[in-house]
């Protein structure tokens, strides 16, 4: 693809290069951790990790063991997959962005049902029961993670994707969510109150969402955040940042990020990738320009005073990107190739550090 491609494990470390600005993260998956080459790459290049799936409710919740507890509120959790990932991060000296405590997706319906029933039409539990379950779940996860791995998690995605403006209900909230259907809008503040109770000192609490810079969606999220801020419940906004090379939208992203920064919250880019269907040299050069502009813009916002704490990529190499399934199309959206080499996009993100103002030039054509 490019003569400058280097072995990603031997190449200079992106995480180290950016250390004085913000953390550089990657979403990692259990199968990557079974591969020694991936372990070495992650250890070399990143200063933050997020579990792609292993810390989501569906992976933690154990229905059989929950039924055995015979408790209407407390559920049983299995931590092994999450713990393996946390142990890896600890061994590498990499900090963890915990993703995610409360989400409408990847949370089984039985969690919301009366008697923990998994019948597809089982009646849903009442609001207070669901909110009590939510609090118990959050406290149990936080207690476990902070006891077994003290100091490792630096922030928590407390609520993911509660806003859905297009079909959204009052305040743009996602009414199709079982959280909303059982507990109404209260589930959001209640989740943050529980997380504030359970967090360890210094851990930041985040709201996380996609397309969060689209004007109507941003308006709804800013309203939600200001309610949470009034109670001092939220510390950060997570912008997922799944972009598309055919319309990278960088100026719109920048003004959206600036509006979040003005709230005084910490800003994290939490799930960055740029969909790029071509592996050819030209497509990858365009991808590199887009990444260069994007990181130039983040550095500029940081210099202007935005509290940017982390930029996390959603994946490590092009080999395992979720976009291939999501888009039903080839995609080569990341900084490292499937054969563990640095791509031109890697050089562009490195170069953004050197080029200062120049990296803020026009986005990819």
Residues that are catalytic: 161, 271
The least distance separating ligand GLA from the CB of residue 353, rounded to whole angstroms, comes to 27
Query: Which residue's CB is nearer to ligand GLA, number 15 or number 57?
Result: 57
Q: How far is the CB of 240 from ligand GLA (least distance, A)?
A: 5
Q: Does 134 bind ligand GLA (CB under 6 A)?
A: no
107 touches ligand GLA by CB under 6 A: no
Any contact of residue 235 with ligand GLA (CB under 6 A)?
no
CB of 115 to ligand GLA, least distance (A): 29
Does residue 179 belong to the site contacting ligand GLA (CB under 6 A)?
A: no
In terms of CB distance, is 79 or 322 closer to ligand GLA? 322
Cβ closer to ligand GLA: 56 or 190? 56
Nearer to ligand GLA, 210 or 332 (CB): 210
Does the footprint of ligand GLA cover residue 54 (CB under 6 A)?
no
Residue 210 as a binder of ligand GLA (CB under 6 A): the answer is yes
Asked if 271 interacts with ligand GLA (CB under 6 A), we say yes
Closer residue to ligand GLA in complex, CB, 205/352: 205
110 binds ligand GLA (CB under 6 A): no
Residues 87 to 106 in contact with ligand GLA, rule: CB under 6 A: 99
Would you count residue 164 as binding ligand GLA (CB under 6 A)?
no
Kindly report the three-state secondary structure assignment for every residue of the chain: CCCCCCECCCCCCHHHHCCCCCEEEEEECHHHHCCHHHHHHHHHHCCEEEECCCCCHHHHECHHHHHHHCCCCCCCECCHHHHHHHHHHHHHCCEEEEEEEEECCCCCHHHHEHHHCCCCCCCECCHHHHHHHHHHHHHHHHHHHHHHCCCCEEEEEEEECCECCCCCCHHHECCCCHHHHHHCCHHHHHHHHHHHHHCCCCCEEEEEECCCCCHHHHHHHHHHHHHHHHCCCCCEEEECCEEECCCCCHHHHHHHHHHHHCCCCEEEEEEEEEECCCCCHHHHHHHHHHHHHHHHHHHHHHHCCCCEEEEEECCCEHHHCCHHHHCCCCCCCCCECCCCEECHHHHHHHHHHHHHHHHHCCCCC
Of 47, 160, 241, 331, the residue at the interface with ligand GLA (CB under 6 A) is 160
Interface of this chain with ligand GLA, residues 321 to 360, rule: CB under 6 A: 322
User: Which single residue brings its beta carbon nearest to ligand GLA?
Assistant: 322
> What is the binding site for ligand GLA (CB under 6 A)?
99, 160, 210, 240, 271, 322
């Amino acid at each position: 693809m490019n003569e400058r491609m280097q072995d990603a494990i031997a190449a200079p470390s992106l995480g180290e290069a950016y250390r004085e600005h913000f953390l550089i993260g990657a979403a990692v998956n259990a199968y990557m951790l079974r591969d020694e080459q991936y372990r070495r790459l992650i250890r070399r290049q990143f200063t933050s990790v997020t579990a792609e799936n292993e810390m989501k409710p569906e992976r933690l919740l154990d229905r059989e063991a929950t039924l055995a507890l015979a408790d209407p509120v407390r559920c049983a959790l299995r931590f092994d997959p999450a713990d393996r990932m946390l142990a890896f991060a600890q061994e590498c000296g990499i900090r963890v962005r915990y993703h995610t405590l409360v989400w409408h997706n990847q949370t089984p319906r039985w969690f919301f049902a009366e008697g923990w029933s998994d019948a597809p039409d089982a009646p849903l539990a009442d609001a207070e029961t669901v909110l009590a379950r939510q609090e118990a779940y959050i406290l149990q996860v936080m207690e476990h993670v902070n006891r077994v791995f003290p100091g490792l998690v630096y922030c928590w995605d407390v609520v993911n994707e509660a806003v859905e403006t297009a079909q959204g209900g009052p305040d743009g909230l996602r009414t199709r969510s079982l959280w909303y259907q059982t507990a109404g809008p209260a589930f959001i503040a209640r989740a943050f109150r529980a997380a504030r109770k359970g967090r360890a000192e210094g851990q930041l609490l985040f709201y996380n969402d996609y397309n969060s810079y689209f004007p109507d969606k941003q308006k709804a999220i800013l309203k939600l955040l200001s309610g949470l801020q009034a109670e001092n419940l939220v510390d950060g906004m997570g912008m997922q940042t799944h972009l598309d090379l055919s319309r990278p939208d960088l100026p719109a992203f920048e003004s959206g990020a600036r509006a979040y920064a003005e709230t005084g919250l910490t800003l994290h880019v939490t799930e960055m990738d740029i969909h790029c269907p071509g592996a050819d040299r030209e497509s990858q050069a365009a991808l590199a320009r887009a990444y260069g502009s994007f990181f130039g813009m983040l550095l500029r916002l940081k210099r202007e005073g935005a509290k940017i704490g982390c930029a996390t990529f959603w994946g490590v190499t092009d080999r395992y990107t979720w976009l291939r399934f999501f888009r039903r199309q080839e995609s080569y959206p990341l900084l490292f190739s499937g054969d563990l080499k640095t791509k031109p996009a890697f050089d562009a993100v490195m170069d953004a550090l050197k080029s200062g103002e120049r990296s803020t030039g026009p986005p990819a054509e």
